[in-house]
């Protein structure tokens, strides 16, 4: 590939692939593709769409960074980087004042503490159980016979909150079914789901001794009731994210690849 200013970052996550194209520090192409079937195909499709939006070809990309659970399946040459490093770099680029970020991903939850330069001071990841992740939200929506996008408005309109522990995705789903069988309102259950996810995130935050400013990333953030519940539990205002919450790890991968090429 030619050494041009355009850089590409690919975050091959557990449930979706995110691809960005950067030109002179500006995102000019972005795509999220659900990982269905072959992961290689999802990566290729996502890359193709991001390049199409950016109106550049892969030959015009000077640097490529790859990260995420499925990084090894990226079928073109790239600089491999850890998801922690990529997330930290992307967050520092978008929100340089942030010192703590929690990423609520498809199958894991990660907390990263940054210094003033955006370098990782400490991190903690919970990938042993899918509770509090995108997978859990999808399971919960299915149990309620709703679309994922319907959970948030229902939760926000709920007059009360059902108690859901969600320490385990399987047990959490069982609790949801029990609430339904007992005649609990769907809105109350939706509110309970959001609070349970936020509670798990807050527990991780408290274990690392986080400090503001606080940012939350990952697909779960698109359910704003989770963010509001987190603010209520930890007593700290969460920064309003300036980009798609699933975008910043891919941005970080692109930036790290670019910076590596300039060394």
Task: Give the pLDDT confidence score for residue 210 in this predicted structure.
Answer: 84
On whether residue 92 sits in a domain, the answer given is no
* 261 φ, ψ (degrees, to nearest 5): -70, -20
Residues 110 and 195 in one domain: yes
Residues 122 and 64 in one domain: no
Q: How many domains does the chain contain in total? A: 2
Rounded alpha-carbon distances, angstroms, from residue 16 to 59, 69, 218: 24, 10, 11
Residues 182 and 236 in one domain: yes
Boundaries of domain holding 103: 97-241
On whether residue 1 sits in a domain, the answer given is no
Residues 148 and 27 in one domain: no
pLDDT tens-digit readout, 173-217: 788 888 999 999 999 999 999 998 898 899 889 888 888 899 999
**Residue 49's pLDDT band (boundaries 50, 70, 90)?**
very high
d(CA 138, CA 111) in angstroms, rounded, equals 22
Tokens of 154: 């229902």
Residues 108 and 230 in one domain: yes
On whether residue 61 sits in a domain, the answer given is yes
Residues 23 and 49 in one domain: yes
On whether residue 58 sits in a domain, the answer given is yes
On whether residue 2 sits in a domain, the answer given is no
Task: Give the pLDDT confidence score for residue 171 in this predicted structure.
Answer: 67
pLDDT tens-digit readout, 105-146: 888 889 999 999 999 999 998 865 655 677 888 888 888 998
Alpha helices in the chain (DSSP H): 39-54, 83-94, 134-143, 148-157, 169-181, 186-208, 224-234, 248-261
Residues 53 and 181 in one domain: no
Residues 135 and 224 in one domain: yes
Is the preceding peptide bond at 125 cis, omega within 30 degrees of 0? no
Residues 48 and 157 in one domain: no
Tokens of 178: 């029990």
On whether residue 155 sits in a domain, the answer given is yes
Domain containing residue 34: CATH number: 3.30.420.40
Question: What is the overall mean pLDDT for the chain?
Answer: 90
């Amino acid at each position: 590939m030619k050494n041009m200013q355009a850089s590409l970052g690919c975050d091959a996550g557990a449930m979706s692939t995110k691809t960005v194209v950067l030109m002179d520090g500006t995102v000019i192409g972005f795509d999220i593709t659900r990982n269905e079937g072959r992961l290689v195909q999802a990566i290729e499709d996502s890359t193709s769409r991001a390049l199409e939006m950016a109106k550049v070809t892969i030959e015009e990309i000077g640097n490529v960074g790859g990260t995420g659970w499925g990084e090894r399946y990226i079928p073109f040459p790239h600089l491999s980087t850890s998801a922690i490093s990529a997330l930290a770099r992307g967050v520092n680029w978008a929100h340089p004042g942030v010192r703590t970020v929690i990423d609520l991903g498809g199958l894991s939850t990660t907390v990263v503490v940054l210094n003033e330069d955006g370098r990782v001071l400490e991190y903690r990841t919970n990938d042993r159980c899918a509770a509090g992740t995108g997978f859990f939200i999808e399971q919960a929506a299915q149990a309620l016979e709703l679309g994922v996008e319907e959970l948030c408005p229902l939760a926000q309109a709920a007059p009360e909150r059902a108690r859901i522990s969600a320490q385990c995705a399987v047990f959490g789903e069982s609790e949801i079914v029990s609430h339904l069988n007992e005649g609990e309102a769907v809105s109350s259950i939706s509110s309970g789901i959001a609070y349970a996810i936020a509670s798990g995130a807050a527990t991780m935050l408290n274990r690392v001794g986080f400090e503001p400013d606080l940012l939350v990333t990952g697909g779960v953030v698109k359910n704003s009731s989770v963010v509001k519940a987190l603010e209520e539990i930890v007593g700290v205002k969460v920064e309003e994210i300036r980009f798609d919450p699933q975008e910043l790890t891919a941005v970080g991968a692109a930036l790290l690849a670019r910076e590596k090429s300039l060394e």
